Structure 1
Amino acid sequence: MPIYEYTCRSCGHTLEALQRVSDPPLRECPECSTPSLVKQVSAAGFRLKGGGWYETDFKKDSEKKRNLADRPEPAKESKSEAA
């Protein structure tokens, strides 16, 4: 569940609330009891476990790296064979 930051327009009090995304936003300030709370925009915090890279964390050892440069070029048809 995300943590939302709120600020009261009346008294300036700020608070954080742990809420579901589907929960309605808080309205009443716990300090001054007015319905003046406004949700603030804040940075999301998350942590990647491991290196966070496909090559080092998720790719199976049996899989080989695919490189288009290593593929053999398809045989080109000459104009006489195509006609």
Structure 2
Amino acid sequence: MPIYAYKCESCGHAKDVLQKISDAPLTDCPACGAPKFSKQLSAPGFQLKGSGWYATDFKGGSGVTGAAAASSPAASEPAPAASTDSSTPAAAGGCGTSCACH
């Protein structure tokens, strides 16, 4: 069930209410009784219930992403540096002169 933020335009009382989506919006302020209690635009709120995956399940490095990255040899080796030697043979992509074409 979503949590809605309400605020009274009359007295300024604010409250978060757990409601079903199908429930009618509240209109009467619980503090002053004025019919000026309305929903506020806020970040979505929700409650996780039951068993399932949570962000805390893989804390401590035993997660799939940590194990996969550690087992991959390419991930731990640095990439080879590009050669800037002007005497690179033409077959390897260089023209053999000191031009700026490569």
TM-score range, shorter chain: 0.5 to 0.7
Alpha-carbon separation, structure 2, partners of 1:34 and 1:45: 26
Give the direction of change, closer, same or farther, for the CA distance of 1:28–1:45 in structure 2 (3 Å limit): closer
TM-score normalized by the length of structure 1? 0.55
Bigger RCO of structures 1 and 2 (CA < 8 A, at least 6 apart):
1
Local SS of the residue matching 2:22: coil
Alpha-carbon separation, structure 2, partners of 1:19 and 1:49: 23
Q: 1:49 aligns with which of 51, 54, 61?
A: 54
- In angstroms, what is the RMSD of aligned CA positions? 2.4
Partner of 2:98: none
Bigger helix share: 2
**Structure 1 segment 2-81 matched on structure 2, within 5 A:** 2-45=2-45, 49=54
Alpha-carbon separation, structure 1, partners of 2:45 and 2:15: 17
Give the direction of change, closer, same or farther, for the CA distance of 1:45–1:6 in structure 2 (3 Å limit): closer
Give structure 1 regions of 4+ aligned residues with deviation exceeding 4 angstroms.
none
Alpha-carbon separation, structure 1, partners of 2:42 and 2:7: 12
Structure 2: state its 5+ residue gaps.
56-63, 65-102
Q: Shift of the alpha carbon at 1:26?
A: 0.3
Q: Shift of the alpha carbon at 1:19?
A: 0.1
Q: What is the aligned length?
A: 53
Structure 1: state its 5+ residue gaps.
51-55, 57-83
TM-score normalized by the length of structure 2? 0.45
